[in-house]
Amino acid sequence: MVAGFFRKVSVLAVAGLLVGVPGTARAEQQARVVYSIEFADPGEEHDPEPYGAVVLRLPGEDRLLWREGRAEDTPSRWRYPATGAAIQEVPFTEDEILQVCAFVGERDGDVDERLADGCLPYEGVHEPYVIDGSGGHVTVNLYGVGRAAGREVVPQKGFADCVDIAVANGADPLTAHDACDAAELTTCYRIFREAHGRQAWALEACQARVD
């Protein structure tokens, strides 16, 4: 059973450290986090039934990216969200992120397994954070951490901004990663065009890398 390791998540929630819990978030939205999460149990033939929490660890608090309670009808999923990327506007900047953490169990008949139990140092976006457990692993993909919409401060343009713009307009996150990572603006736009056709946002995204 995973009562011991999963108690960590309960303690965080009670202490108000999970910023995603209503009433604990700071009011001012400063940045946008674009991400997806994958759940893997190599010994399972079907999609896992994960429960627990995935968070970004900040000084003195955690920001909840995903949470599922343990129940008899825990939904099966291998990815969150099912397609594309999730987007959160958050009250902190990228510089405040210390770690990427996952405390995730899985219902597996009468015996629960640990898919992930721990944290990895935050080293920037576009590097998958694979957090292991005794029964599998959880991969946290961070596609971009950039300024939130509506801020008066003009964001510094770059790689993350390119991905932000593309994913917000419906681009596949992996396509956005490849396009925004291209050496030339024309190559960036070509990758978007081949995947999504001619789109005004594609040029905007590619230009964001160099503006």
Report which of residues 7 and 118 the model is more confident about: 118
Judge residue 203's burial from the number of C-beta atoms within 10 Å of its C-beta, 0-12 exposed, 13-18 middle, 19 or more buried: middle
Q: Are residues 142 and 160 in the same domain?
A: no
What is the pLDDT at residue 86? 87
How do residues 28-37 score in pLDDT, each as one tens digit?
Answer: 667 889 899 9
Residue in this structure with the two tokens 């390791």, named with its chain if needed = 5
What is the pLDDT at residue 27? 47
What is the pLDDT at residue 29? 61
Q: Are residues 172 and 145 in the same domain?
A: no
Is residue 116 pLDDT above 90, yes or no? Answer: yes
How do residues 20-63 score in pLDDT, each as one tens digit?
Answer: 443 344 546 678 898 999 999 987 788 999 999 999 999 988 99
What is the pLDDT at residue 58? 94
What average pLDDT does range 80-96 have in this prediction?
A: 87
Report which of residues 39 and 156 the model is more confident about: 39
Is residue 146 pLDDT above 80, yes or no? Answer: no
Q: Are residues 193 and 160 in the same domain?
A: yes
Q: Are residues 25 and 40 in the same domain?
A: yes
Q: Are residues 131 and 64 in the same domain?
A: yes
Q: Are residues 44 and 123 in the same domain?
A: yes
How many domains does the chain divide into? 2
Q: Are residues 131 and 52 in the same domain?
A: yes
Say which CATH number the domain at 109 has: 2.60.40
- Rounded to two decimals, the pTM is 0.63
- Structural domain that includes position 102: 3-151
Q: Are residues 123 and 190 in the same domain?
A: no
Rg (CA), the chain: 18
What is the pLDDT at residue 109? 66
Q: Are residues 23 and 99 in the same domain?
A: yes
Q: Are residues 91 and 11 in the same domain?
A: yes
Is residue 148 pLDDT above 60, yes or no? Answer: no
Q: Are residues 110 and 166 in the same domain?
A: no
Q: Are residues 29 and 82 in the same domain?
A: yes
What average pLDDT does range 147-162 have in this prediction?
A: 56
Closest by CA to 75, choosing from 106, 117, 109, 42, is 106
Taking 3-state DSSP, the helix, strand and coil percentages for the chain, each rounded to the nearest 5, stand at 25, 35, 40
Task: Give the model's confidence band at 149: pLDDT under 50 very low, under 70 low, under 90 confident, else very high.
Answer: low
Domain boundary (103, 121, 151) is at 151
